[in-house]
Chains A and B, each alone.
Chain A
Amino acid sequence: MSARSERNAWVLGTTAPALVFLAVIAYLPIAYAIALSFFKKTAFNPAMTWVGLDNYRYILEEPDLWRAFWRSLVFTLGAVGLQLVWGLVSALLLNRALRGLTVVRSLFVLPYLLPSIVVALVFQWLLSQEYGVVNQILMQTGVVTRPINFFGGLGTAMWSVIGMAGWQYGSFATLLILARLQAINPKLYEAARVSGAGPLRCFFDVTLPNLRTTLIVIALLRGIWMFNKFDSIWLVTHGGPLKATETLPIYAYRLAFEDFDFGLAAAACTVMFLVLLVGALVYFKLFDPTREIEVGR
């Protein structure tokens, strides 16, 4: 075997498994789903009939899709906003109290790595209307007179889900922001203080500008993932009560597995995909994460 063909065999042999897996289990299903959105296909009828843009016309004219879209937006903005605020506040506090950091940092890694099912079960128990400890505390301290139906109330369900997502994923923001804070050169603060800046000025003139990139990265990435979020919401509310928490992924799930209309579900997923595409393009354009690896070799 010549050196050249041996080299080619190595290139192929090492990259092919990953490439084939990615193509077959990630890209093929996506391509299939997008193709499916142009067909009439139900669970009961194996035949696929070409219907052009009918599926899109149908769901885009349905108020349900738009309501789901707005709920997705509310959930995403609420959850990401909460995570950023939580991340910023907790990271600033932790950054001051550096001692015992490793233990505390471990504590903050935990929620992010917990399975969603665990978070969902624990929050359902904490916030239970009849037996929940949170309601008991609120009643005893006189904040409320009647227990709150957190996940089952029309007005409270969305906020409760946002709060839960904030608890689970906020620690991701904490860790990233904390890492960035510790990388800020202390001389910058000294210089600011010498020129007469108080703590507040230091925060706005030194801390915040240094955190800008980190905050944007967190907002974009978490935004994309929150927009796609199915498990956390489904586990605590199933999209209810009365669709109050039915976001786009849950809407698509219902079309596929409750109405058994795969064509419509695929169209809804494709709409979701297009929204995601915008977010992903902004992320790639702004940060080009492919810089992290050397592609020139």
Chain B
Amino acid sequence: MRAPTASSKLARYGPLALLLVVLVIVAFPFYWMLLSSFTPREVLFRPPYRFFRLDLSLGNYRELLFATEFLVYLRNSLIAAAGAIVLNVVAATLAGYGLTRFAFPAKKGFAFGTLFSYMFPPMLMAIPLYILFSALRMRNTFTGLILAHMAISLPLNIWLMWQYFQIVPASLEEAAWVSGASRLRALRQVILPSAKPGIVSVAIFSFALSWNDFTFAFILQTDRAMFTLPVGLAIFVEQTAVHWGMVMAAAVLVSVPTFLLVFFLQRYLLSGLRVSG
């Protein structure tokens, strides 16, 4: 065997080293967020900052939960997300069913209109919604926020269900009709159970888009008691002396749903990622 030359070594280990660099770039912000969130305030700002430490504490989390309005923001975020999930699931599932099972004109228009609205600039929707909701006294209400969140998630969800119902075979339903079931009963007992993965995807996306939204909540919810997590947390860093350990604890808690989705429900996510572009 010949001894490996320098260039063949480079060809062998170069990509591996580069891959390592790429992984560090992706992973380091997560690691630093976690580590900072558990680092006590007294040592966090004292350089040099150590990349490993064992003097960790839950102090930042305790302070976040009991000395700030974090729990109020959390409640508001959860209510908005729950509303968005329910309305999206109902509207998108019905639409997906109707659009795949019946022939009617203007379907192409419907498809185009749905996709196009997915690309609308959020600011172009948020400013008129602010004016309209002001006139209707719907600013700083959950109804208003949930409707706004539907504006960003419904197009994608209709699209998802439209695609999903295409792979639920019509023969399933027809078999139920033959055995005497009405269309409604066939829908409830045969179609909906087999469309469940699609419905779960819709629920996940409705949740994620509502949970992640900053722009709409920031513009529509001006009353501190109605802030969602993203809006509430943005204020944490606008003070003069930012308590970074606590801010990182908040960032960790807000990303918990993302972590759960990615590591436990990824198969539902990937179907949606394809649709979202």
Contacts and interface: CB of A to CB of B under 8 A. Distances in A.
Interface of A: 6-7, 10-11, 13-15, 17-19, 21-22, 24-30, 32-33, 36, 41, 89-90, 93-94, 96-97, 104, 106-111, 113-126, 128, 131, 133, 136, 140, 167, 171-172, 175, 217-218, 221-222, 224-225, 227-228, 230-231, 234-235, 249, 252-253, 256-257, 262, 265-266, 269-270, 272-273, 276, 279-280, 284, 289-290, 292-295, 297
Interface string B225-266: 000011001101100000010011011001100110111001
Contact of A133 (B27, B32, B119, B250): B32
Given A21-B150, A117-B254, A290 B108 contact: yes
22 contacts: A15-B99, A27-B113, A93-B15, A93-B19, A109-B269, A110-B258, A113-B261, A115-B211, A116-B214, A117-B251, A121-B250, A131-B49, A136-B47, A225-B119, A231-B122, A252-B123, A272-B124, A290-B115, A293-B99, A294-B166, A295-B107, A297-B100
A27 B119 CA distance: 12
Of the listed residues B15, B120, B154, B248, the one surrounded by the most CB atoms of chain A closer than 10 A to its CB is B120
Contacts of A293: 99, 111, 159, 162-163, 166
A136 B48 contact: yes
Given A10-B98, A26-B120, A107-B27, A126 B49 contact: no
Given A96-B15, A109-B266, A171-B26, A116 B230 contact: yes
A111 B183 contact: no
B258 A10 contact: no
B115 A118 contact: no
A118 B94 contact: no
A11 B95 CA distance: 9
A44 B110 CA distance: 38
B247 A113 contact: no
A295 to B, nearest CB: 4
A18 B92 contact: yes
Q: Which 6 A-B pairs have the closest CB atoms?
A: A14-B98, A18-B95, A29-B128, A228-B121, A117-B230, A115-B212
Given A21-B91, A115-B211, A290-B112, A33 B128 contact: yes
Contact of A122 (B214, B236, B248): B248
Contact of B147 (A25, A284, A290): A25
Contacts of A222: 277
A185 B49 CA distance: 48
Contacts of B254: 115, 117-118
A165 to B, nearest CB: 14
A59 B29 CA distance: 40
A89 B259 CA distance: 25
A238 B269 CA distance: 32
Contact of B229 (A117, A126, A256): A117
A268 B115 CA distance: 23
A114 B163 contact: no
Contact of B23 (A29, A104, A217, A266): A104
Contacts of A10: 98, 101-102, 183
A292 B32 CA distance: 41
Interface string B208-228: 100110110011000000000
A289 B120 contact: no
Given A110-B30, A126-B32, A117 B214 contact: yes
A24 B146 CA distance: 13
Contacts of A115: 211-212, 214, 229-230, 254-255, 258
Contact of B95 (A14, A36, A117, A276): A14
B237 A18 contact: no
Nearest to B134: A43
B18 interface: yes
Nearest to A252: B123
A124 B119 CA distance: 28
A142 B220 CA distance: 47
Contact of B114 (A22, A234, A265): A22
Contact of A235 (B101, B208, B214, B219): B214
Contacts of A290: 108, 111-112, 115
A35 to B, nearest CB: 9
B33 interface: yes
Given A30-B128, A108-B26, A262-B127, A117 B234 contact: yes
A7 B15 CA distance: 60
B273 to A, nearest CB: 7
A296 B103 CA distance: 7
A17 B112 contact: no
Interface in B164-192: 166, 183
Nearest to B231: A117
A233 B165 CA distance: 38
A22 B49 CA distance: 50
A123 B117 contact: no
Contacts of B117: 22, 26-27
B25 interface: yes
Of the listed residues A18, A111, A175, the one surrounded by the most CB atoms of chain B closer than 10 A to its CB is A18
A230 B108 CA distance: 31
A38 to B, nearest CB: 14
